[in-house]
Amino acid sequence: MTQQLRVYVPPHPLIKHWLAVARDATTPSVLFRSAITELGRWLTYEASREWLPTKDGTVQTPLDTCAATFIDAEVPMAVVPILRAGLGLLEGAQTLLPLASIYHLGLERNEETLQPSCYLNSMPEKFHPQTRVLITDPMLATGGSIMAAMSELVQRGVEPSLVRIVCVVASPPALQKLSAAYPNLIIYAATIDETLNDRGFIVPGLGDAGDRIFGT
Ligand code: PRP
């Protein structure tokens, strides 16, 4: 069976609400940051549904013994925030994944060429092949940054089907690139916006998420 990239846009009122707040140009930084944190939380909740490793066991209740399911803490879990803007989604993600290791990846897109360059990579040389990886970045625009992040992970032994990408706005060019290179990848987005302008910004999008999160 041929694999196909899956992009989920969860129809959840909280995701829609915080997306609307984040899109609004009059939203100040402090509220924008909260909106992105909340989107990180709810999109991670959706993304972790069939991704978090579990194991079966039993618990003794005050009345009886019963079957129970636990998070399997022996399977390595990692979150890779793409700096800077991915840090905004990390906070909410981390509340749901307290056991995950955090590996920062600093990528900056050149304003003219739109090519990303890497200024920080805290990943280990090799990941355990069973490692679950969640990448956070609010925007997939031309797709250059997310493709660079995927390449760093796959080079280090990560299996693409165990990766989840949590983003706020995804654009078709980025999804096409990911689909061609990693057909068994799964993405969670608050929305898919159709247009990229000539500066590589997603339209309508939410502006420059990094600048709005950090007030720069
Ligand atoms: C933005 C955004 C993505 C990237 C998307 O980051 O957060 O990482 O651009 O663009 P692409 O899909 O065309 O590569 P930016 O480089 O502006 O850095 P910042 O997060 O530090 O502001």
Q: Is there an atom of ligand 1 within 6 Å of 145 CB?
A: yes
Q: Which ligand 1 atom sits closest to the C-alpha of 145?
A: 14
Span from the CA of 83 to the centroid of ligand 1 (angstroms): 8
Query: Sign of dihedral through CA atoms 173, 202, 187, 167?
Result: positive
- Domain membership of residue 186 (yes or no) is yes
Q: Are 66 and 72 in contact (CB under 8 A)?
A: no
Domain of 106: which CATH number?
Answer: 3.40.50.2020
- Domain membership of residue 53 (yes or no) is no
Q: Which ligand 1 atom sits closest to the C-alpha of 82?
A: 8
- Domain membership of residue 62 (yes or no) is no
Confidence of residue 111 (pLDDT cuts 50, 70, 90): confident
Distance CA 171, CA 136 (A): 15
What pTM, to 2 d.p., does this model score? 0.96
Query: Closest Cα to atom 10, ligand 1: which residue?
Result: 141
Range of the domain at 101: 6-47+76-214
Q: Is there an atom of ligand 1 within 6 Å of 84 CB?
A: yes
Q: Is there an atom of ligand 1 within 6 Å of 114 CB?
A: yes
Q: Residue 121: which of 148, 161, 94 has the closest Cα? A: 148
Residue pLDDT, tens place only, 148-182: 999 999 999 999 999 999 999 999 999 999 999 99
Residue pLDDT, tens place only, 16-34: 999 999 999 999 999 999 9
- Domain membership of residue 69 (yes or no) is no
* Structural domain count of the chain: 1
Distance CA 192, CA 136 (A): 16
Q: Which ligand 1 atom sits closest to the C-alpha of 144?
A: 14
Residue pLDDT, tens place only, 41-55: 999 999 999 999 999
Span from the CA of 76 to the centroid of ligand 1 (angstroms): 27
Q: Which of 135, 139, 150, 208 should be mutated for ligand 1, with most atoms under 8 A from CB?
A: 139
- Domain membership of residue 55 (yes or no) is no
Q: Which ligand 1 atom sits closest to the C-alpha of 171?
A: 12
Query: Sign of dihedral through CA atoms 175, 8, 140, 150?
Result: negative
- Domain membership of residue 146 (yes or no) is yes
- Domain membership of residue 60 (yes or no) is no
- Domain membership of residue 191 (yes or no) is yes
Q: Is there an atom of ligand 1 within 6 Å of 148 CB?
A: no
